[in-house]
Amino acid sequence: MISFCLISTLHAQQTGSWGDQGDGTYINPILNADYPDVDIEKVGDTYYMISSKQHMSPGMVILASKDMVNWETIGHVWDHLSWDDTYDWDQMNGYALGVWAGDLAYHDGLWYCYVIDRNKGLLMSSATDIRGPWTKPHQMLPPETVIDDPAVFWDEDNHQAYLICNTGGIHKSPENKIKGNENRLYKMSWDGREILDTGTLIYTGPGAEAAKIYQIDGRWYIFMAEWFFGEPQTPRRIDIPANDRKQLVLRSTSESIYGPYEKKIVMERGEGQERSASQGALMQAPDSSWWYSHQLIQNTATPFQGRPQMLEPVSWVDGWPVIGVDEDQDGIGEPVHQYKKPIQGFPITAPQTDDDFSAEQLNPQWEWNHNPRESHWSLSERPGWLRLKASNPISEDGAKGPGNNRWSDSKASSFPFWRASNTLSQRIMGNSTGTAVAKIDISTMAEGQWAGFVRFGGVYHLLAVHMDDRGKRYLYFVNSEGNKTKGPEIKANTIYIKTSNKGNQAHYEYSLDGDSFSNFGPNFTLKFGNWTGDRLGFFCWNEKDEQGYIDIDYFSYDYDGPKAADTH
């Protein structure tokens, strides 16, 4: 399990255009970054959140909060995506696969995390401490039987555990004429490790998934997201304004978890929010008020920060939840922009971003593109620095790499960024402004080596130093087509790289002294893709020999959002 330490910095507590405003209110999103597919479980006075990130390793990030608004990263469920070698550094064939939407549960003193990987089916790991260690993933159902989005519930009254998930059309009978995904309810063993039956169909609908089970005041509720197509002739075009992904609730009309159920839409986009709002987790505050954390999805032109998290008040009307505020009085809630915090009195905190690499273990904001090559990075060989050693990229010609992954939008190109192991990155924060700076020692680079800084999501843009076959180092800007812009020779042994964005427009700067920076390369556009928002990170590879390395002294990131005082 990855741990983190608190490291003093020069910045003070800050607020911004989103999150905690420091006055008892918050502005949505509360987490304006790529935290999709969350589930939240409260234990004691702490709320714990998990969020998916596909092929990034470690997998399934864990965050903690005391007030539902301010969240800190505390680790990951899986140190490595160990259940399939497609995620290994020498395969890199897992783009857009890996860790999808999961479920976090706490029962009888044990933590559980469930996920469905399209390669391996339904998987489960458990832990006595949420910070780990977690058990190795245990397969509960094979991949040919399930699609995604598991959720569990322990019925204490009847001593029976259940799991619900989207099974798409895998088990669909000719009698089921309803278009869309089937969602099936399975009986599960009390220890949470085994599925006991073939499942019972609960609901079918267009894009219906992300079910969560709750029992409130003796009634069963299943929260679920579904697509509502305003232009049915193009049902797969999610970015058409007439189409909306809404949150619906199934409510039982009997005491049985199997229903029958009645249905109601309880949240839709509105109140100035153009992106569809759905899929999340229901929470309750100590004062018994109800709240709902959910994602905004990628159905607008520029969701370049990914899928952020919103927080909505929940009111109950005639036994139905209304998520957000029903401004147009149609019985359906819409997202709020600014609202009072659910729990007052806790300071502003935020996921860690800055790093001086002085910890013994890598801090938890960082994730690798696929599993790292452990022998090719180090925090101990030069204490206080992160060392990245060069590997050869995967060949374009074999059965490995992104070009052979039918689930990925990424295509192998002559420039090997998508095929190079040990790219380390973290999420951007916000979609208004941000500036990141890093100091890199390039004195030990070798001929054929490429190393530097990258922004990537749906596309990549790099500011690189390349050492040619004469031993000279040159600056390069490289875009996502692999087109290179060659810059000056870099004779200094240290380079400082800065990248800034205003909205989705970004650029690079560099410096040799850390004080005077010069622009290099064109402005470029940040984009969402591969179900991933823009990320900030480092890369290092060598197309000639496995020689050379770089050392990174620090990474500093300022953005228009909340940041805790004196911590990373």
| Top-tier CATH class for 23-33+101-340 | mainly beta
Q: How far is Cα 163 from Cα 199, in angstroms, rounded to an integer?
A: 9
235, two tokens: 């049902």
Q: How far is Cα 356 from Cα 384, in angstroms, rounded to an integer?
A: 7
- Confidence class for position 529, pLDDT limits 50, 70, 90: confident
438 half-sphere exposure, CB direction, 13 A CA radius = 28
For the stretch 391-406, pLDDT in tens is 999 988 777 888 655 5
The proportion of the chain whose per-residue pLDDT surpasses 90, expressed as a percent, equals 86
Q: How far is Cα 160 from Cα 407, in angstroms, rounded to an integer?
A: 36
Domain ranges of the chain: 23-33+101-340, 367-559
Residues in the chain: 568
124 residue type, one letter: M
Cβ within 8 Å of residue 120, ≥6 positions away? 83, 84, 137, 139, 143
- Confidence class for position 2, pLDDT limits 50, 70, 90: very low
pLDDT of 568 > 80? The answer is no
Better-predicted residue by pLDDT, 557 or 564: 557
Q: Token match 């790099």: residue?
A: 462
3-state DSSP call for residue 303? coil
Q: How far apart are the first and last CA of the chain?
A: 18
Beta bridge partners of 261: 252
Q: Residue 40's pLDDT is what?
A: 98
Q: Residue 7's pLDDT is what?
A: 36
Q: How far is Cα 424 from Cα 357, in angstroms, rounded to an integer?
A: 13
Q: How far is Cα 93 from Cα 84, in angstroms, rounded to an integer?
A: 10
Q: Residue 3's pLDDT is what?
A: 35
Q: Residue 564's pLDDT is what?
A: 84
Q: Residue 491's pLDDT is what?
A: 98
For the stretch 159-201, pLDDT in tens is 999 999 999 999 999 999 999 999 999 999 999 999 999 999 9
Asked if 83 and 117 touch (Cβ cutoff 8 Å), the reply is yes
- Confidence class for position 376, pLDDT limits 50, 70, 90: very high
Within 10 angstroms of residue 255's Cβ, the number of other Cβ atoms is 10
CA angle 254/245/50 to nearest 5° reads 80
The residue-averaged pLDDT of 90-99 equals 92
| Fold matches, 23-33+101-340 and 367-559 | no
Q: Token match 């999501």: residue?
A: 457
3-state DSSP call for residue 244? strand
- Exposure string for 32-53, b = 16+ CB within 10 A, e = fewer: bbbbbbbbbbbeeeebbbbbbb
Q: Which helix (H) or strand (E) holds 226?
A: strand 219-228
Asked if 74 and 567 touch (Cβ cutoff 8 Å), the reply is no
Q: Residue 140's pLDDT is what?
A: 98
| Top-tier CATH class for 367-559 | mainly beta
Beta bridge partners of 535: 427, 456
For the stretch 458-516, pLDDT in tens is 889 999 999 999 999 999 999 988 899 999 999 999 999 999 999 999 999 999 999 99
The proportion of the chain whose per-residue pLDDT surpasses 70, expressed as a percent, equals 94
How far is residue 92 from each of residues 25, 81, 410, 542, measured CA to CA in Å?
A: 43, 12, 11, 17
Q: What pTM did the predictor assign?
A: 0.95
pLDDT of 92 > 50? The answer is yes
For the stretch 269-308, pLDDT in tens is 998 889 999 999 999 999 999 999 999 998 887 899 999 9
Within 10 angstroms of residue 394's Cβ, the number of other Cβ atoms is 24
For the stretch 235-254, pLDDT in tens is 667 777 788 999 999 999 99
Q: Closest Cα partner for 510 from 520, 525, 523?
A: 520
- Confidence class for position 408, pLDDT limits 50, 70, 90: very low
Q: Residue 410's pLDDT is what?
A: 52
pLDDT of 226 > 80? The answer is yes
pLDDT of 215 > 60? The answer is yes
- Strands of the 160-168 sheet, one edge to the other: 148-155, 160-168, 181-188, 200-205
